[in-house]
Amino acid sequence: MVYFATRDQQTTNGPGRHSVEDLAKSTEVSSEAVYVQYGCGFAAGAGWHNFDRSPTMRIERLPIIGAALGRLSGNRQQFPDDVRYGDICKGLPIADGTVKGVYASHVLEHLSYEDCLKALRNTYAMLEPGGAFRLIVPDLHERARRYLHDVENGSAEANSVFLRTAHLGREKPPKSWLDLLRMFIGGTDHLWMWDEASMSEQLVAAGFTNVRRCEFGDSGDPMFARVEDITRFIDPGLDMTELALAASKPAL
């Protein structure tokens, strides 16, 4: 995804294809620092602990038949070898208080409301004091603003455009067992949408401080250049800036 390698994560170019290369080259990073990305899909960052909870990945790694069965998912590629199975809602196999940076790009909207709150709490727990968390989710406020603008201008397609851009609802029912299988293992649906105020509030409730709206490449840490992609911050198809937030765990 996200967690499930949704179609918007299926890029063959991988993370960092629009990264701030000069920043990455200008600052050395301690090899002892731990960085975690969850819901990475196919975009595994070098030097990061990359996790995804995709059922497809587990199927692909079955002996002999895994690769063939995995193709039934409709994914255009297989998960990289350096992506491990891990569910942030249940907790990742990472010791609490040991992680310098966590990145979650277009993941949290695929979780139910309660599971998202669990994910935020587990993210906070694994960070070391002063550790950084950067997340991106689709911006509900901007989609709602465009919807209202279209309604006020008499568009009969306003509701359809909103639902499609928010990945809510379902336009067509499944017509075959393969469609049903892809629905089950795909994880492409958005289960809970967020705006800046609501997500910021939940980050604070989980214990985070210094919550702010962030932009591509402004982390100040070159490791994030290995996982960030500008097209995740600004959707080129919609010409829409998504909701990207940075937060930190209080230092001791």
Q: pLDDT value at position 174?
A: 79
Domain regions of the chain by residue span: 7-139+177-248
Judged against a pLDDT cut of 50, whether residue 22 lies above it is answered with: no
Q: Residue 50: helix, strand or coil by DSSP? A: strand
Extended strands (E) in the chain: 35-38, 49-52, 83-85, 99-105, 127-137, 209-213, 234-235, 240-241, 243-248
Judged against a pLDDT cut of 90, whether residue 133 lies above it is answered with: yes
Angle formed by the axes of helices 113-126 and 196-205, to 10°? 50
Percentage, residues of the chain above pLDDT 90: 64
For residue 93, how far is the Cα from the chain centroid? 19
Q: Is residue 1 within 8 Å of residue 185, measured between CB atoms?
A: no
Question: H-type helices in 88-207, by residue range?
Answer: 113-126, 140-152, 158-166, 177-186, 196-205
Question: Could you tell me the fold of the domain covering 7-139+177-248?
Answer: Rossmann fold (3.40.50)
pTM for the structure as a whole? 0.84
| Lowest mean pLDDT across 23-32, 197-206, 242-251 | 23-32
Phi-psi sector, 210: left (phi>0), alpha (psi -120 to 50), beta: left
Judged against a pLDDT cut of 90, whether residue 10 lies above it is answered with: no
N-terminal to C-terminal alpha carbon distance within the chain: 34
How far is 70 from 249, CA to CA, in rounded Å? Answer: 38
Q: pLDDT value at position 4?
A: 37
